Amino acid sequence: MSGVDYLAPASVADAVSALRASAGSARLMAGGTDLLVQMRGGRAKPQVVIDLKRIPGLVGIRCEGGGFVIGGATSGAALGEHVALKAAWPGVIEAANLIGSTQVQGRASLGGNLCNASPAADSVPALIAAGAVCIIEGPAGVRAVQVEKVQAGPGKTTLAADEILVAFRLPARPARSSDAYLRLIPRTEMDIAVVGVGVSLTLDAGGVCNAARVSLGAVAPTCLLVEAAGAALVGTTLDDAALAKMEAAVSEACRPISDKRGTAEYRTKVACVLARRAALIAKDRANA
C-alpha cells in the first residue's frame, strides 16, 4: 500500500476538485471499512485517498423541517446515540447499527454503505423504505436523488466520477409512523446478509395503513424498492390477507442468485418471511 497520497480536504468543493485532478486514480473515504479492506486485498489500488470526514456537514446529524439531515460520513455509533433520530427512524438505525462490530461501528457510515454498492448492504433497504433522499454534489452543483436510484449494480453507483454524496435527508414523519429492518445471517454478527428487508409505514387513527414502502437487500444485483409490496399493505390493517399479498409481491420481485451464501429459492422464501415480520414490527412500533 506504499505510495498512496492521503488528502483531507476541508470543503466539498476542494474534495471535488481533488477528485477531478486525480483523473480516476482517487477514492473517497468515509470510515474506510470497505475501502481499506479492498486496498489491503488488492481489489482497490487508488493513488489518492480523499478523506471526507473533515468536511463540515459530512459528519453529524441535524434536524431540519421536522426531518433529519445526516452527513454522509457519519458513523454508525453516532447514529445510534442520537435519541430523536432513533425514535423517529428505529428501522434505519437498527439497520445501520447491525453493520459489523463495535469497532466497525465507530467508523462505518451510511454513505460508505450505499456507495460501496453491495446488494447486501444492511442500511440501504432501510433507507429506501424510509424514502430517504441523497444530497449529491459535483462540479455542476447539488442534486437530490432517491436512495433507490443510487446503486447501479454490484460495486457500481449512478454517481459521476467527480460527485460526492454529501448527506441523506429523512423526511418529516407523520404521526403513527415507524419502520423496521430485519436480516438473515447464519451467525449472530460479523456476517453478510443472506436477505435483508426494510419496511416503513404509516397508520391512520383507525389503525389502517395509509402509506408503506418495502425494500429488499441481497435478492437482486441492487437493493430493491418493491412498490407492489408496499401497495399491498396500504388500506389494510396488515391482516393475513394483506400480508399474503405483500409476500406474493416480494416473491415476485426477488431475482436472487444461488451462491455460497444461499440458494435462490431459500433467499426468496426468507425474503417473504422477513418482510412479514418487519411489517408487523413496524406496525407495532407505529402503534406504540
Partner 1 sequence: MSDGNQGGVDLKVVGQRPIRPDGVDKVTGRAQFGADFHLPGMLTGRIKRSPYAHARIVSIDTRAAEKLPGVKAIVTSADFDAGAAGEVEAGESHAAMKEVAANCLAHGKVLYQGHAVAAVAATLPEIAAEALDLIEVTYEVLPHVIDVEEAMAADAPVLHDDMYTKGVTPKPGKASNVAAKHVMGRGDVAAAFKAAGVIVEGRYETAAVHQGYIEPHACVASWGADGQSTIWCSSQGQFLVRAMVAKILNMPLSDIKVIPAEIGGGFGGKTTVYLEPVALALSRKCGRPVKIVMSREEVFLASGPTSGAVMDVRLAARMDGKITGAEMTLKYQAGAFQGSPVNLGLMTAFACYDVEALALTGYDVVSNRPKVAAYRAPGAPMAAFAVESAIDDLALKLGMDPINLRLLNAVRDGAKTVYGATVRYSALVETLEAIKASPHYQTPVGKGQARGVAAGFWFNVGGESSAAVHVDEDGGVTVVSSNPDIGGSRASMAMMAAETLGLPIERVRCTVADTTSIGYSGSTGGSRVTFATGMAVVEAAQKVVADLKRRAAQTWECDIAMVEWKDGVATCTDPAKDVKPLSMKAIAGKTAKTGGPIAAEVSLNAQGAAAGFGVHVCDLEIDPETGRTTVIRYTAAQDVGRAIHPAYVEGQLQGGAAQGIGWALNEEYVYGKSGLLENASFLDYRMPVASDLPMIDTILIETKPNPRHPYGAKGVGEVPIVPPLAAVSNAVSRIVGKRMTSLPMSPAKVLAEMDK
Ligand X SMILES: Cc1cc2nc3c(=O)[nH]c(=O)nc-3n(C[C@H](O)[C@H](O)[C@H](O)COP(=O)(O)OP(=O)(O)OC[C@H]3O[C@@H](n4cnc5c(N)ncnc54)[C@H](O)[C@@H]3O)c2cc1C
Q: Catalog residues that contact ligand X under the rule CB under 6 A.
A: 27-35, 37, 52, 72-73, 98-100, 104, 107-109, 111-113, 115-116, 121-122, 159, 164-165, 190
| Residue from 208, 214, 206, 276 nearest 236 by CA | 208
Strands 26-29 and 48-51: parallel
Residue 274: alpha-carbon gap to chain centroid: 17
Question: Is residue 170 at the binding interface for partner 1, with CB under 8 A as the rule?
Answer: no
Question: Is residue 280 at the binding interface for partner 1, with CB under 8 A as the rule?
Answer: no
Nearest approach in angstroms of CB 114 to partner 1 is 20
Distance CA 4, CA 42 (A): 13
What percent of the residues of the chain are helix, what percent strand, and what percent coil, each to the nearest 5? 35, 25, 40
| 32 interface partner picked from partner 1, ligand X, none, CB below 5 to 8 A per type | ligand X
Return the range that interacts with partner 1 (CB under 8 A); candidates 56-64, 88-96, 138-146, 189-197: 189-197
How far apart, in Å, are the Cα atoms of 229 and each of 21, 142, 143, 195?
A: 44, 32, 28, 16
Q: Which long-range contacts (CB under 8 A, 24 or more apart) does 155-159 make?
A: 155/116, 155/117, 155/118, 156/117, 157/114, 157/115, 157/117, 159/115
| 164 interface partner picked from ligand X, partner 1, none, CB below 5 to 8 A per type | ligand X
Question: Is residue 14 at the binding interface for partner 1, with CB under 8 A as the rule?
Answer: no
Nearest approach in angstroms of CB 182 to ligand X is 13
Q: CB nearer to ligand X: give 51 or 247.
A: 51
| 130 interface partner picked from ligand X, partner 1, none, CB below 5 to 8 A per type | none
Question: Is residue 183 at the binding interface for partner 1, with CB under 8 A as the rule?
Answer: no
Cell of 54: 473533515
Specify whether the CB–CB gap between 136 and 159 falls below 8 A: yes
Residue nearest to ligand X (CB): 112
Q: CB nearer to partner 1: give 74 or 113.
A: 113
Strands (E), 72-208: 133-138, 141-146, 151-153, 156-157, 164-170, 177-184, 195-203
Interacting residue with partner 1 among 2, 65, 102, 206 (CB under 8 A): 2
Q: Which residues are bridge partners to 209 per DSSP?
A: 203
Q: CB nearer to partner 1: give 205 or 260.
A: 260
Distance CA 63, CA 17 (A): 29
Q: CB nearer to partner 1: give 59 or 197.
A: 197
Question: Is residue 254 at the binding interface for partner 1, with CB under 8 A as the rule?
Answer: no
Return the range that interacts with partner 1 (CB under 8 A); candidates 156-164, 171-179, 213-221, 255-263: 255-263
